[in-house]
Amino acid sequence: MRSSIGSRTAACSSSTASAAQAPATSCSTGTTPRTGRWTRVHDRLLDGEGQRNPYWQATVDSKGRLHLAWTWRRTGDVRTNHDVSYARSIDGSGVEWERSDGRRYAMPVTRADAELLAAVPENSNLINQTSIAVDEEDQPVIATYWSDGQARSGVKRPVQYRIIEQAPEGHCNDGRTPAGWCIDDTGFLSRTSFELGGFGTLAIPISRPQVLAQGSGANRVVHLVFRAQERGQKVSIATRRGLGAAWDPPIDLTHDSVEDWEPSYDTEQWRRTRVLDLYVQRVNQVNNEGIASTAPQRVYVLSYPLASARPTTIEEPQLDGTE
């Protein structure tokens, strides 16, 4: 990540309690000032007040500002995930923070004070953490997934990826939240239903998403990278070309299954060249920290130039190296 003060920028960490306890409540951040030394600037940036834990993700914009989006979890049970909130630093130092409308936060940020992007109740299949990116005007774009409707015993609800973003009037696909943010129900998962619940690691039919943005304003293009059981557990990508536009049908970037892989990519390569370099390895996830009897799998970088036209055929990935 880059900083506006000329050196590497802030990092934030939160602590999580054991599954049998309420989560820990602090999130700290540090920065590298001109001296080149790391300095702790907050002991509690996001404060769950002993009642909940923030699961956050961050990105850095062209001005060096940090953007955070997070969900809260009340206990160790994933069922208690709820709400999506947002904050950004006013500069690269991470000392002072504000809402999207410029109103400053008093530190630490609590649930009552946090800018609420989406009010998602507990038992909604909301995944912990989010994915966050900024467009070319440094406007945040956030991705996650959840289900609508109340949970019912023995009934699996459809789950859908959602985009949370700011958009001008007339460009909001599925209505605005009370805070004025738009929620775009991507709608491209057609056969995915499940119920999240329990403690520890879980094998889930879809991955957390990774979101990327190009352009800005009404011409903002959003890409969502994901893995879904209904698509054969391949590396997949879907694109929306403009605010309020329909999503293109997803395409698969691999021929073969990557099992329970979750996407990660080279953020600096993307920022510099708009080439998407994905870190790929076929992995097997076992519930509750179980151990899989799986042979070692190759690791490779799948490179996809999003600035070019979408390919009509899938090329075999070229290995940049193995470990």
Strands 115-118 and 81-89: antiparallel
Query: Is residue 285 domain-resident?
Result: no
Query: Is residue 5 domain-resident?
Result: no
**Domains contained in the chain, number:** 1
Q: What is the distance between the alpha carbons of residues 168 and 171, in angstroms, rounded to a whole number?
A: 6
Query: Is residue 122 domain-resident?
Result: yes
Query: Is residue 313 domain-resident?
Result: no
Average pLDDT, the chain: 85
pTM: 0.85
| pLDDT above 90 (res 287) | no
Q: Give pLDDT, residue 307.
A: 66
pLDDT in tens, 163-220: 999 887 777 766 777 778 999 999 999 999 999 999 988 899 999 999 999 999 899 9
Does residue 263 have a cis peptide bond before it, meaning omega lies within 30 degrees of 0?
no
pLDDT in tens, 303-323: 998 865 343 334 445 444 444
pLDDT in tens, 88-116: 999 988 999 999 999 999 999 999 999 99
Cβ neighbors of 216 (< 8 A, separation 6 or more) are 135, 136, 137, 139
CATH number of the domain residue 217 falls in: 2.115.10
Query: Is residue 203 domain-resident?
Result: yes
- How close are the terminal C-alpha atoms of the chain, in Å? 25
Q: Give pLDDT, residue 47.
A: 96
Sign, CA torsion 63/270/305/227: negative
Query: Is residue 82 domain-resident?
Result: yes
Q: Which of 257, 230, 118, 98 is nearest to 174 (CA)?
A: 118
Structure tokens at 85: 């909130």
Q: Give pLDDT, residue 313.
A: 36
Query: Is residue 322 domain-resident?
Result: no
Query: Is residue 306 domain-resident?
Result: no
Q: What letter does residue 5 receive in the DSSP assignment?
A: T
Structure tokens at 180: 């004025």
Q: Whole domain around residue 231: which residue ranges?
A: 11-262
Query: With bands split at pLDDT 50, 70 and 90, how would you rate the model's confidence at 1?
Result: very low
